[in-house]
Structure 1
Amino acid sequence: MPAADHGDAHDDVKYAVPVALHVVDRPRLYDLLDIAGESPVTLLSASAGWGKTVLVGSWLTARAVERPAWLTVGPGDDTPDTFWRAVATSLAAVVGAPADALLRRVADDRGSGPDPADRVADAVRHVVGPAVLVLDDVHRVTSPRVWAGLQRLVTAPPGGLRLVVLTRRDPPWPLHRLRLAGLLAEVRAADLAFVPPEARELFALVGVELTPDQLDLLVARTDGWAAGLRLAALPLRAPGADVAGFLASFSGDDRTVTAYLQSEVLAPQPERVLRFLEKICVLDLVCAELADAVTGDQDGAAMLAELSSSNLFLQSVGEGGRWFRLPGFVSDVLRSRMVEPRARRDLHRRAAEWYRRRSLPDAAIRLALAGGLLPLAAELVGVHVIGLVLRGRGRELDTLLSAVPRDGLLTHPELAVGLAAARMVHGHDEELADLIAAGEARLGALPALRARRVRLVLDLIALADARLRGDLDGLAAACRRIPLDPAELAELGLAGWDLVRVLTLSNQGTAELWLGELAAAEVHLRTAMDAEPAAGVLLPRLNAQAQLALLECERGHLTAARTEAREVVARATATGSTSTAQMVSAYLALAWAHIDSGELPEADPWLRSADEVEAAAPEPHVQLTAAVLRARRRAEADPEAALLALQTRTRALAASVAPARLRDRSLLAQAELAEQLHDPVRGRAALAGLHVPTSPEAVTATVGILLLEGDPDGAEQHLAALDGEPSSVRIQVTTDLLWALTAVARGDDEPALRALDRALRAAAPHRLRRPFTLRADGLRRLLSRRIERGTGAAAFAVELMTRLSHQLDPGREPAAPPPAALTPRETVILRYLSSTLGNSEIAAELSVSINTVKTHQQTVYRKLGVGGRREAVRRARELRLL
């Protein structure tokens, strides 16, 4: 069997409707399940062996149920994230648009965020037409948070979903209330019990014929328990079986069937069958090759075929008939017979090695840990931890390693560091410091190669920690410690070593971009995009391309920025990655590009997308940049409010580890807003706090203030200091415009016209309009003359002229004044009403209650004689109050 088949088998089985042989057709129970569909939730609750799984699987087939989704809950599905991601994966395969895309986003989400249970419920509400979700083995769930999420789904079920829950014990739900509310239909053991006609068909399928009285007696002795009846069929199949004697001694209840299974069913089996069963019972799933690896024999295919033919010892699972599972009660009894620890460990070792040879580390690690083989598990984790966590298996690894006794965990550096890496990736910081310290303390006890692997994982943890804290200097330092040479990485023998290079390059370029090292950032980010492995992870590449989009914005290349960012968004949308932290720079780039192009309303959805990501994974450098963009957006309606909000947000982030360059960006934006307000005093105050007052951005901001103060000589001196080639299109355009305005202030029109033409030619290819619209009152007359004289960017210049004219002169005369003057506080509220902020946001900005905002709002409406917010803004503009 190809390795790929094995690699997909476990997930296929997890989401596949189980297949069983010798299934008795049970129309009365199918009808019961049909009627139960009148309630949104159907609960099948009975102990092992009552045939819950087989019944629901055969019902789906017999009734040709459309769009059934199946999830067999496993031991790794006991956290809210793993459970609901599994639910989302199962449902996404059967529901149509738009619910499937929403569910895939939940399934692919590897980071912290809104409650996944609520996200699944919201997604299912978009399902068109009915869908059925079967949750099997729900008794495996122990997490109270998972049960709480399920209870919310059950008590407020989405209209398009029917939930069928299979469990060995009742869930911790208020069942009585659910019954009274009509939300719950139940199928219990009494319903599942075989009646004589069904039992007769069951025995006929395995070649056993009983008289009506014998059949009634056996059904009565077992209470119709499917497992008891199937086990009773084993001795009755033998030629010359003493049916009467058997019936006289067979009681058929759970406890006695276990004893019976030991003495009467297992004991008489041929030695080869018993030996085979005792060896494969350590496995949840088994195929022929795996059976041969565990038993050491070569008859796995024949034995599986023989044992599955009666469907008494083995059940076929999944499609293709290659994988089998022992019934739970049979497996439990067989495992209880294994009293020799060494033999048990050897079986687990063989199975783990089989999975390791097929590059299936999840199963290999699980079996090694189940067998108490901590050294083997540690070696496996050391080799595979990077590939597992970077390909989204960190939560499963966390679940496995969290179950290891603490002493064993801390004694093995690879296990301790592996658990730390798994937790770091999905934001679970419990015991991180202890785990990392234990790993570092015991590195010397490892062979050199294994110690180098652990050291690399520790460096990657430091990288992730610095990124999460927004420590860009620490991020850059961590990246420099990680080798990038493919040969050196390959020598470590790490699975997923190629992902290390992509991840490191992507993060190194990210740190350099935010620290202002744009040339180095571009090299590393583009190398990260080119180095993405063919079958590797997507997120590092998304991150690299999103950062490149932001880099293009930094330079003023707005068209290129849009192209890069939209490609990132399209790819993320297709893969359900739109809510990941790697996407935020693409959202910022699109917002920035729209703002700089003068398309202010188009920036709003991208700013909201950035806010949504930041709510789950806040990064100080992102928050500062978003605050600047939001202030520029808000300044269209009210520069004063924009300036106050930016100052407030900057102070709130003052204690963060955001680099000085980004704090300078906020101060420069504040100086720009002060210039818009014709307030050089506040502009000077902002510039006085700069960490790098000699940067081109700082010099141009200073020139703007000098011109505002009527000092063209000082402005010219500062501009002259900007010798050499400009570092970006943005700096070039801004510098040329300031030269033009300086020349205008001196009354020297020809140099002014030449400088303006240079600015137009540089800005036109990128549709960079904001540097012009910021200085509309000083440029409109000069731009008109430039158009009359001709320019190399005529279309762009004419379009700009239209914008500047509309901006400076909306062309409407003021209407009659309002019946009553607005108070200063009402004027502030009016300004906020013209923004995109809601009442709760306005209240937060002004540090007042929402009721206070609403009271002022109604007073403003009354004084302006309007009935709503939009009318108030329109009326205020007519009155030149805005």
Structure 2
Amino acid sequence: MPHAGETPLLRPVPWFLATAPSPGSEMVERTAVTTLLDRCVDTHHVAMLSAPSGFGKTVAVSQWAARRARATPGSVAWVTLTERLTDVADVLRATLTALEGAARQRDDEAMLRALSAVYRSPTYDAAIAATAALASGVPVTLIIDDFHHARDTLAGAGLNSYVEHCPQWLRLVLLTTDTVGPELTRLRIHGRMAVITAKELAMTAEEVGTAAALLGRPVDAREAQTMLATTGGWPAAVRMQLLSGQDSPAFDADTDLTEYIRSAVLARLRPDLAEFVLSTTVTPRVDGALLAALWGRPDHAALISECASSGLFIERFGSPAGAVYQWHSMFATHCQSILRAQDPRRWRMLNEVVAQELQGRYPLQAVSHAILAEDAPLTTQILTDRWLELLLQSNAEALDRACIAAMSALGEHPELLMIRACCRDIAGDTTGARHLLARAKVLDPGQTMSPRMDFIAALTEVLVSNDHEAMTKAASCAEAWLDDRTVVGASVYPCALFLLGWANSRLRRAERGSAQLESAVHECTAAGMAELAERARQALTFAAAQSGDFDRALAVLRRGGITADTAPALWLTHDGDGIERFAEGWVHFWRAEVDAARDAFLEVGAGAGSGYPDIARAMLAFAAAAVGDRDSLDRAESALGRIADTDTHGVPWTSYRLTARARLAEARGEPSRALELAAQLVGRSHVPMMSALASGISCRLGDTDLARALARAATDPQAQPYSRVYGHLTVALLDTDHDELERALALGAEQRILLPFAEYPDTACLNLLIAHRNRTAHGRFLDDALVVTSRAGQRRERQGPAPLTPREVEVLTYLRTPMTAEEIAVRLSVSVNTLKTHQRAIYRKLGVANRREAVHAAGRLPILQPQNE
């Protein structure tokens, strides 16, 4: 199967789309076609039945499938595509659903387990690879009816690829109204595909006679031959002529089908049955509830059964849960034309009935019928009631199309423009999203917003805005409406909780975000939104980790939750892949398990998307610097180039990049560069964690004023616990302040926040901790801090000192002369402060405390030793 641009959602399709229609007893047994199909399937990988609508493809193949399934249960799987089930993701999940059904029929537990694993594939390509690797003990034939709905996705080369990736034990039977084009020549030349056309599907005179007898309208051989000549053996035309009676007008190539069905088919039915047909063909697929709503009388079940048994153009899909009936598309289309011309008011009323009935189960189909009903308020109401659920459960593209169709037919509406803005933003079209939002705001500038519109506008701003303050204001506005059920309906409430929880975690209001996401998990589960419940659970792992509640984050991770039908697709433009692995890495990092953190960030940073992968790329720099090996630093440096260079969706990417580059510069022995970058964080809002990490850089490099300023920002009472631990420890080391150290220990003890101590692997930190041993209320945690500090120091010793930069070699050369610091600074054209920064870096790398020791150590450096001529 071909590559998809984004990871699809892999969840089963509705049961009736993965169920073969029941062959009607009134249908002619197409023995010649089924024999030909046997031969094609046994000798080719693909059999394509290509013929116009009404040539009996579904009937013939359902007869063949029933016979095969009786002989070998579980050897046939059936899929019906629709106008809303068309792309590669849909074809894949429909295929998996059908294969599951076949596996259950043959009690194949191994296959069911394997299919369950495919559903949990993290990416589309992984799912394709897993499908191709499936093994089956028996050959299985997958029948895909109405394959023409996937023409845009699987045309030509797409179908070639689809066939190439199918397992060898799987045969394909494709039913389509499309012609077989030259792009499929390769499959045919290599014997991979057989084609059955209208010529082979046309009825014989004998079959015409059998069909007439089954319908209780027998004809003799001459009449059958005449009928064959006038219809060309087209099964639909044969059936219509038989249903219309002997005195009906002749059927030929120039016959107006709509008029023929009206005058020669419907007019021959009992008036109540004809009215029933016109009433129920307004939608192609009906079940008991929809039939009752459309007909409004208690005899709907008897009438639909009569339609099926009398040979009208309808197929029945049965299951223990009930039956679903599907009108033949050609017949339904012409009946709809008849009703629309005959009684426009009734046409609109029946479409409104369908829209009302389907809005809770199939909202997008309901929107289509509301548009046909020309009911703008109902169309808008369905979309605004269900938009957030559709948007967040991987139907953003279809939702966008529905809004476009609604506005094309019924005019622009601010709420629909806002919904479209969200759809475009989810798809990554941020420019289009902002234009749509701007149009919504100016469409009716004098109009007072209704509460519902205000709520939708706030959620749209949350999704589309890149400004922290604007997002914060919009999230607070949306939260204010949450308890008003006239504004936030039952299906919207769980979705809104998730979206606001997601937003608040992005805005670094992690405790609020965690609480909302926890509620979203329960509310979505109760509402049957399994995919969104799982998405909320995943987001909760990061929100809890980000808030500093590491134990809770790990508990949510252990809770798991992904099953075959709940594995959510990526929300690519906002989150990216790897949220749970990233949360794991985050906890590892702040607990000073830096090797595990580095591995997690490397894995997530290699993934798709710009959310968690980008944060992982930034965090990789800090983990790599803590690990210290050259390969990790090089990979971190490379990863930084992939991070967004502007702040988006409340995330300060510029501050992340800035701090990460400063940390790498420090690790590579470039103190001036590191301090120059760190200084740019001073005064920035909403970045306490970056301030904390940069305070460590500044403190280690000896810029006490900068370290103090950054530590002050990190210890803000609203900052995360780990940021405050780092900030308090920095101040404690700057001032040898035991009170500040105790604050760091008190904050860090509960969640074992040890990274800040590992960041100061020197005697100053060790001595301060040892001196504090008898003053603390957190002795066990202090011991842990001593251990990680010592281990970090040992790691640094094993790696050896960082090499001196060319500038530091130059400074050290002058330090060996009698020149004063001021004279050296003048000679190098730098300030005295910059010179002192270089001196501190040289002392740290050489492991010395002053200039005299540095001069002595310099004599042992190969680069500074005199060279023999």
Give secondary structure in 1 for the equivalent of 2:627: coil
1:223-255 CA-to-partner distances (Å, cap 9, x unmatched) read 54333443444367xxxxx7xx99xx8567684
1:26-80 CA-to-partner distances (Å, cap 9, x unmatched) read 4543343333233222210112222111222222221126364433222223556
- Specify which of 573, 583, 586 is matched with residue 589 of structure 1: 583
1:301 pairs with 2:301: yes
Give secondary structure in 2 for the equivalent of 1:316: strand
- Specify which of 161, 173, 191 is matched with residue 182 of structure 1: 191
Aligned to 1:55: 60
Rounded Cα–Cα distance in structure 1 between residues aligned with 2:195 and 2:253: 23
Q: Given that residues 75 and 140 in structure 1 are in contact (C-alpha distance below 8 angstroms), is that contact kept between their aligned partners in structure 2?
A: yes
Amino acid at match of 1:182: G
Q: Given that residues 421 and 464 in structure 2 are in contact (C-alpha distance below 8 angstroms), is that contact kept between their aligned partners in structure 1?
A: no
Q: For the aligned residues, what is the CA RMSD?
A: 5.1
Aligned to 1:70: 78
Which sits farther off after the overlay, 687-696 or 263-272?
Answer: 687-696
Rounded Cα–Cα distance in structure 2 between residues aligned with 1:292 and 1:349: 14
Give secondary structure in 1 for the equivalent of 2:268: coil
Q: Given that residues 635 and 673 in structure 1 are in contact (C-alpha distance below 8 angstroms), is that contact kept between their aligned partners in structure 2?
A: no
Amino acid at match of 1:305: S
Give secondary structure in 2 for the equivalent of 1:163: strand
Aligned to 1:11: 14
- Specify which of 33, 38, 50 is matched with residue 37 of structure 2: 33
Rounded Cα–Cα distance in structure 2 between residues aligned with 1:235 and 1:543: 56
Report the Cα offset of residue 713 of structure 1: 12
Report the Cα offset of residue 491 of structure 1: 1.7
Report the Cα offset of residue 123 of structure 1: 4.0
- Specify which of 610, 613, 625 is matched with residue 604 of structure 2: 610
Aligned to 1:477: 473
What does 1:158-307 correspond to in 2, within 5 Å? 158-172=167-181, 174-195=183-204, 198-199=207-208, 201-207=210-216, 209=218, 215=224, 218-219=227-228, 222-234=231-243, 255=255, 261-287=261-287, 290-295=290-295, 297-307=297-307
Amino acid at match of 2:459: L
Report the Cα offset of residue 407 of structure 1: 6.6
Rounded Cα–Cα distance in structure 2 between residues aligned with 1:719 and 1:381: 49
Q: Given that residues 78 and 143 in structure 2 are in contact (C-alpha distance below 8 angstroms), is that contact kept between their aligned partners in structure 1?
A: yes
Label 1:220 to 1:599 Cα distance change in 2 as closer, same or farther (>3 A).
Answer: farther
Rounded Cα–Cα distance in structure 2 between residues aligned with 1:548 and 1:9: 25
Give secondary structure in 1 for the equivalent of 2:526: coil
Amino acid at match of 1:323: V
Aligned to 2:647: 656
1:463-503 CA-to-partner distances (Å, cap 9, x unmatched) read 2112xxx5433322221221445442x12374523235413
Aligned to 2:623: 632
Aligned to 1:876: none
Rounded Cα–Cα distance in structure 1 between residues aligned with 2:267 and 2:67: 37
1:79-112 CA-to-partner distances (Å, cap 9, x unmatched) read 5665665556555665736763465368xx9xxx
Aligned to 2:107: none
- Specify which of 623, 639, 643 is matched with residue 614 of structure 2: 623
What does 1:76-87 correspond to in 2, within 5 Å? 76-78=84-86, 86=94
Q: Given that residues 712 and 727 in structure 2 are in contact (C-alpha distance below 8 angstroms), is that contact kept between their aligned partners in structure 1?
A: no
Label 1:87 to 1:425 Cα distance change in 2 as closer, same or farther (>3 A).
Answer: farther
- Specify which of 527, 546, 556 is matched with residue 535 of structure 1: 527
- Specify which of 551, 555, 562 is matched with residue 563 of structure 1: 555
Amino acid at match of 1:386: L
Rounded Cα–Cα distance in structure 2 between residues aligned with 1:39 and 1:418: 47
Report the Cα offset of residue 139 of structure 1: 2.8
Amino acid at match of 2:494: L
1:792 pairs with 2:780: yes
Label 1:765 to 1:664 Cα distance change in 2 as closer, same or farther (>3 A).
Answer: same
Report the Cα offset of residue 545 of structure 1: 5.0
1:124 pairs with 2:124: no
Which sits farther off after the overlay, 137-146 or 719-728?
Answer: 719-728
Label 1:259 to 1:734 Cα distance change in 2 as closer, same or farther (>3 A).
Answer: closer
Rounded Cα–Cα distance in structure 2 between residues aligned with 1:32 and 1:548: 56
Aligned to 1:104: 119
Gaps of 5+ in 1: 1-7, 237-241, 813-823, 825-879
Report the Cα offset of residue 670 of structure 1: 4.8
Q: Given that residues 74 and 140 in structure 1 are in contact (C-alpha distance below 8 angstroms), is that contact kept between their aligned partners in structure 2?
A: yes
Rounded Cα–Cα distance in structure 2 between residues aligned with 1:24 and 1:303: 22
Rounded Cα–Cα distance in structure 2 between residues aligned with 1:701 and 1:438: 42
Label 1:10 to 1:210 Cα distance change in 2 as closer, same or farther (>3 A).
Answer: farther
Give secondary structure in 2 for the equivalent of 1:286: strand
Give secondary structure in 1 for the equivalent of 2:243: helix
Label 1:173 to 1:507 Cα distance change in 2 as closer, same or farther (>3 A).
Answer: farther
Amino acid at match of 2:501: S
Report the Cα offset of residue 457 of structure 1: 2.0
What does 1:841-852 correspond to in 2, within 5 Å? none
Rounded Cα–Cα distance in structure 2 between residues aligned with 1:350 and 1:742: 73
1:516-557 CA-to-partner distances (Å, cap 9, x unmatched) read x55555555555556556115456665665555445545665
Give secondary structure in 2 for the equivalent of 1:324: strand
Rounded Cα–Cα distance in structure 2 between residues aligned with 1:518 and 1:382: 29
Gaps of 5+ in 2: 1-10, 104-110, 801-805, 807-861, 863-869
Q: Given that residues 671 and 683 in structure 1 are in contact (C-alpha distance below 8 angstroms), is that contact kept between their aligned partners in structure 2?
A: yes
Which sits farther off after the overlay, 622-631 or 524-533?
Answer: 524-533
1:401-422 CA-to-partner distances (Å, cap 9, x unmatched) read 4345737332x44554454454
Label 1:663 to 1:94 Cα distance change in 2 as closer, same or farther (>3 A).
Answer: farther
Rounded Cα–Cα distance in structure 2 between residues aligned with 1:199 and 1:607: 69
Q: Given that residues 479 and 500 in structure 2 are in contact (C-alpha distance below 8 angstroms), is that contact kept between their aligned partners in structure 1?
A: no
Rounded Cα–Cα distance in structure 1 between residues aligned with 2:130 and 2:689: 49
Amino acid at match of 1:138: F
Q: Given that residues 670 and 686 in structure 1 are in contact (C-alpha distance below 8 angstroms), is that contact kept between their aligned partners in structure 2?
A: yes
Give secondary structure in 2 for the equivalent of 1:57: helix
Aligned to 1:688: 679
Rounded Cα–Cα distance in structure 2 between residues aligned with 1:722 and 1:401: 46
Q: Given that residues 386 and 495 in structure 1 are in contact (C-alpha distance below 8 angstroms), is that contact kept between their aligned partners in structure 2?
A: no
Label 1:607 to 1:406 Cα distance change in 2 as closer, same or farther (>3 A).
Answer: same
Give secondary structure in 2 for the equivalent of 1:282: coil
Give secondary structure in 2 for the equivalent of 1:75: coil
1:286-305 CA-to-partner distances (Å, cap 9, x unmatched) read 34554454355553233222
Label 1:172 to 1:639 Cα distance change in 2 as closer, same or farther (>3 A).
Answer: same
- TM-score normalised according to structure 2 size: 0.73
Rounded Cα–Cα distance in structure 2 between residues aligned with 1:810 and 1:142: 62
Rounded Cα–Cα distance in structure 1 between residues aligned with 2:383 and 2:734: 66
Label 1:437 to 1:340 Cα distance change in 2 as closer, same or farther (>3 A).
Answer: farther
Report the Cα offset of residue 125 of structure 1: 1.1
Amino acid at match of 1:380: I
Percent sequence identity over aligned pairs = 22
1:168-226 CA-to-partner distances (Å, cap 9, x unmatched) read 12155613222112221111223223445655554443345555565566556545433
Report the Cα offset of residue 372 of structure 1: 3.6
Aligned to 2:795: 807
Rounded Cα–Cα distance in structure 2 between residues aligned with 1:546 and 1:755: 36
Rounded Cα–Cα distance in structure 1 between residues aligned with 2:149 and 2:713: 71
Label 1:391 to 1:673 Cα distance change in 2 as closer, same or farther (>3 A).
Answer: closer
Rounded Cα–Cα distance in structure 2 between residues aligned with 1:403 and 1:696: 46
